[in-house]
């Protein structure tokens, strides 16, 4: 809670020009990146990839760090595995989809509205019978049927309540649960441990802690990101996130 109660400054991603070199750069800040200028240690700054815009760069850094840290570094995603990505139309969800597709995974996804589910099918080419609502627990039964009862090897979760419980039940043997739902972690949600006799792994991910405590991971992440973001590569694991960009004049509307 210490990080939350100190200076309440918003903005952790930034993109702009290095005042000394003029180079286009992007990076991560500990807070206060909603500004016209800022100072940051070189460790947290990298050149914007060729072909990427400022919007592309600033929208990618923390969502891909989340996916890299949780799905690749902690859970060690294996090629060809089954993956369930909740709230897949959001920033982290899209990043996870790009990575899972690059790893040739069988992907299941959820989203909160018919419009978002249709967009996922069109934009990512997911089969319609692999996309479900995140507002109920129907996905548990449907995915169980589509995996012949085996369940899913990797689950990227951002849901709470009954949907979280259903997701835990859906894990395959030796599966990995990547938990992003901070509300449940902060509320100290209890989960049964009997299922862990099937060699399950539960990974809580709070990257705002890791970015500034395990600083050596930042360089590892940037190396991976910049090696996997080449424009035009169909199998690239890192691609720009589709987002609604608001002008500074419409900041109030954006926050609403």
The reported pTM is: 0.92
Q: Which of 253, 250, 67, 57 is nearest to 157 (CA)?
A: 67
Q: How confident is the model at residue 232 (pLDDT cuts 50, 70, 90)?
A: confident
Q: Which of 4-8, 100-104, 172-176, 217-221 is predicted with the least confidence, judged by mean pLDDT?
A: 4-8
pLDDT given at position 55: 95
The pLDDT tens digits of the residues spanning 108-155 come to 999 999 999 999 999 999 999 999 999 999 999 999 999 999 999 999
pLDDT score of 85 more than 50 = yes
Q: Which residues of 19-43 are buried (b: 16+ CB within 10 A; e: fewer)?
A: eeeeebbbbbbbeebeeeeeeeeee
Domains of the chain in sequence order: 2-63+215-245 (no CATH), 77-208 (3.90.180.10)
Q: How confident is the model at residue 4 (pLDDT cuts 50, 70, 90)?
A: very low
pLDDT given at position 8: 53
> Residues 84, 87, 89, CA angle at the centre, nearest 5°?
110
- What letter does residue 195 receive in the DSSP assignment? G
Q: Which residues, in sequence order, are CB contacts of 68 under 8 Å at separation 6+?
A: 99, 221, 224, 225
> How far is 182 from 205, CA to CA, in rounded Å?
8
Q: How confident is the model at residue 2 (pLDDT cuts 50, 70, 90)?
A: very low
Our separate counts of H helices and E strands in the chain read: 10, 9
In order, the DSSP letters of 128-149 are GGGEEESSSSHHHHHHHHHTTT
pLDDT score of 244 more than 60 = yes
* 138 contacts 132 by C-beta, under 8 angstroms: yes
How many C-beta neighbours within 10 Å does residue 47 have?
16
Q: Which of 92, 75, 80 is nearest to 178 (CA)?
A: 75
Q: What is the mean pLDDT of residues 160-165?
A: 94
* 40 contacts 88 by C-beta, under 8 angstroms: no
């Amino acid at each position: 809670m210490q990080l939350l109660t100190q200076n309440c400054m918003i903005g952790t991603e930034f993109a702009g020009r290095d005042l000394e070199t003029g180079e286009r750069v992007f990076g991560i800040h500990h807070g206060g990146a909603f500004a016209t200028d800022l100072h940051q240690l070189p460790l947290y700054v990298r050149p914007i990839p060729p072909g990427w815009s400022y919007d592309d760069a600033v929208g990618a850094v923390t969502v891909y760090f989340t996916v890299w840290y949780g799905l690749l570094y902690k859970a060690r995603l294996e090629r060809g595995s089954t993956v369930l990505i909740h709230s897949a139309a959001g920033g982290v969800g899209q990043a996870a989809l790009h990575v899972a597709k690059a790893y040739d995974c069988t992907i299941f996804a959820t989203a909160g509205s018919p419009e978002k589910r249709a967009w996922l099918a069109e934009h990512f080419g997911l089969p319609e019978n692999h996309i479900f609502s995140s507002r109920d627990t129907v996905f548990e039964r449907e995915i169980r049927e589509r995996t012949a009862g085996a369940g899913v090897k990797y689950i990227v979760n951002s849901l709470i309540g009954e949907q979280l419980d259903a997701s835990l039940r859906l894990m395959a043997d030796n599966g990995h649960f990547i938990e992003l739902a901070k509300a449940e972690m902060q509320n100290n949600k209890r989960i049964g441990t009997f299922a862990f006799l099937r060699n399950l792994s539960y990974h809580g991910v709070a990257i705002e802690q890791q970015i500034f405590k395990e600083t050596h991971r930042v360089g590892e992440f940037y190396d991976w990101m910049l090696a996997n973001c080449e424009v035009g590569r169909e199998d690239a694991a890192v691609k720009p996130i589709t987002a609604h960009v608001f002008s500074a004049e419409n900041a109030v509307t954006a926050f609403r």
